[in-house]
Amino acid sequence: MEIQYLNCFSCTARFPVHLKTGGTAILINTGSELLLVDTGPGTMDYIRIPLVLRTFQLATYVPLDPEEAAVRQIIRLGYQPEDVHHIILTHMHFDHCGGLPDFPDAIVHVFRKELEAFNGLYRHWMDLAYVRRHAAHSPKFELYDPGEEQWMGFDAVRIRVEPEMYLIPLHGHTVGHCGVVIRSETGWVFHLGDAAPAGFDRSFPAWMEQAVLGPHLVRLDDFRLSHPEIKISTGHMLLE
């Protein structure tokens, strides 16, 4: 099994000016099929820029390089879009699921409450980052509800794919936001999505962190420091 991290959304915050990040998607090659954790924006988002992205650009410089689209990176790696059989979503904001139309045959795994929020009325300011056309092609959804399983002290829901993977409910950034856990050949991988900032950067005030990321950051930071054997990634990666 091979795991690769793709940068699908480069941006540079205007404040603090030093913070350059990329949007994380994870490509998993099991040997028989490809799985993708989040997609970044899709190819159509570079042609028909969503309003939320135009607003985002007021606070953040985004070069909008279409070569960063996950589907183009996957093709450059020698695969075809139809080789991606499963997509697991941490949540459905534009910068995490915009690429769904680029993989129309993939089964999309997501927490049920997240899909309901995506399709429902806007109830929270973070809901403005949902772009409904990203699911206009009616993908086949595999939905998940809270269960009774645990992983390393976290509530967990087994994802119906191989290798062994779990959704870890980390609601707050959105109502159905989840982390994703992957059992690799060398150990566990824990992808936190947007429950923690890129590189665990703590330059923002605590009230702002909680308003944007949800209430889990302190616990996740403690977990990271106490479990160096677990590879931990976030929904946005630090760039040089």
> What DSSP element (H or E) covers 236?
strand 236-238
Domain spans in the chain, listed from the N-terminal domain onward: 2-238
Instruction: Measure the CA–CA gap between 71 and 135, rounded to whole angstroms.
Output: 16
Confidence at residue 16, expressed as pLDDT on a 0 to 100 scale: 64
Average pLDDT of the segment spanning 55-64: 90
Of 6-15, 139-148, 173-182, which gets the smallest average pLDDT?
6-15
Domain 2-238 grouped into CATH 3.40.1010.20? no
Region for residue 152 given its phi and psi (left: phi exceeds 0; alpha: psi -120 to 50; beta: otherwise): left
Q: Average pLDDT for residues 167-182, to the nearest whole number?
A: 98
Instruction: Round the average pLDDT of the chain to a whole number and report it.
Output: 95
For residues 87 and 109, the answer to whether their CB atoms sit within 8 Å is yes
Mean pLDDT of 24-35: 97
pLDDT at 15: 72
Tokens standing for 100? Answer: 């769904």
Per-residue pLDDT tens over the stretch 183-204: 999 999 999 999 999 999 877 7
Which pLDDT band holds residue 205 (cuts at 50, 70, 90)?
confident
Q: What is the pTM of this model?
A: 0.96
- pLDDT tens digits for range 99-118: 999 999 999 999 999 999 99
